[in-house]
Amino acid sequence: MRTTVGIIGAGPAGLLLARLLHRSGIDSVVLESRDRAYVERRQRAGILEQGTVDVLREAGAGARMDREGLPHDGIELRFARRRHRIDFPALTGGRSVTVYAQTEVCKDLIALQLAEGGPLLFEAEALAVEGAETENPRVRFRRDGREQTLDCDYVVGCDGFWGVARNAMPEALSRVFERTYPFGWLGILADVPPSHDELVYARHDRGFALLSMRSPTVTRAYLQVPDGTDPADWTDEEIWDELDRRLETDDPAWTLRRGPVTAKSVTPMRSYVHEPMRHGRLFLAGDAAHIVPPTGAKGLNLAVGDVVTFARALVAYREKGDASRLAAYSADCLRRVWQAERFSYAMTTMLHRAPDATPFDDRIQLARLDRITTARSAETDLAEAYTGFPLDQQ
């Protein structure tokens, strides 16, 4: 089997890349180790930056998102029993975000790929990337119990942290930067309308809490918990009680709506960057190259930025013979990645209470939050980072 671009992984990054390439007349093959049902129910991110929304629309994949997604023009910061709303459009020249789950993005892109695009092979396990430094790299994969080879001009690894693409990067060239946090997020889905029409980020002496949503009838909420926590250790009532404590406010008009919890999980918190993101004709994208703590809602959006950068670079080479953007792929992506890492780290350390936090640390957190809520420049910096910088500004 042969193609121009071999894509490993049918998450939102791999699927969007295939879609962008198809619309530019460039063929691709997508290899996904899991079956379609697994990919379409895999719960991950739910906040789409303005740039991600724009790209999905431009790719012809935005119709259902525009019907069912929830546009959000701000978030609320809650601390010391105070409430402060960040008005995104007013601070960013009109940008906002949209709540639309990653599972729904994948469903939309899968349907388009199967109807219009190139091969999308489920249950095709990538085994190795070979010949990345040559003009004809290849991916060895197993499907239906038989080992096969996909010959390519380029390979893009969208296969996550544990995938084979990153392992194909020469160890002598690789540099890793990471930080592991001593806490995670206990997350729930609940069949109850959200208690607020925008996301609420709460800093509390007992730990961080986030009030989010998946739809007008489904609440998504998170609590900071110690690293290694078993979600079964928390009863539904204990979770709701703790959310009530951490979201406390002096506003008597606000109350927390409770309902049946349908899912619980714990998400570890880490920051990770692999440099470079390119070796020869092998390109890394998304979690294969970088991971951010979920506090800043950057993960999916960073992956989108990576594949948009690659697609535009390849189109420039095919149409104009300009290979400079392909050569600059890693450097261009990493500028954006490190800004997202900076923002995610700042949000995480400002809102979460470390196990060894001192009274001094607590006061610094409150001072940082007070600065954002009283200085327009600080508020603007948060709004610009949260809604995402334009994808063509690397």
List the catalytic residues.
72, 201, 294, 298, 386
Position 203, amino acid: R
One DSSP character per residue, 278-321 reads EETTEEE-GGGTEE--GGG--HHHHHHHHHHHHHHHHHHHHHH-
The SS3 assignment for 112 reads helix
One DSSP character per residue, 197-262 reads SSEEEEE-TT--EEEEEEETTEEEEEEEEETT--GGGS-HHHHHHHHHHHT--S-TT-------EE
Q: What are the φ and ψ backbone dihedral angles of 21, each rounded to 5 degrees? A: -65, -45
Residue burial 169-196, b: 16+ Cβ < 10 Å; e: rest: beeeeeeeeeeebebbbbbbbbebebbb
Q: Are 120 and 132 in contact (CB under 8 A)?
A: no
Quickly list H helices, the chain.
12-23, 36-41, 50-58, 63-68, 88-92, 102-116, 164-167, 236-246, 299-320, 324-327, 329-351, 359-374, 376-387
Q: Are 17 and 165 in contact (CB under 8 A)?
A: no
Name the DSSP class of 352.
Answer: S
Q: What are the φ and ψ backbone dihedral angles of 321, each rounded to 5 degrees? A: 70, 20
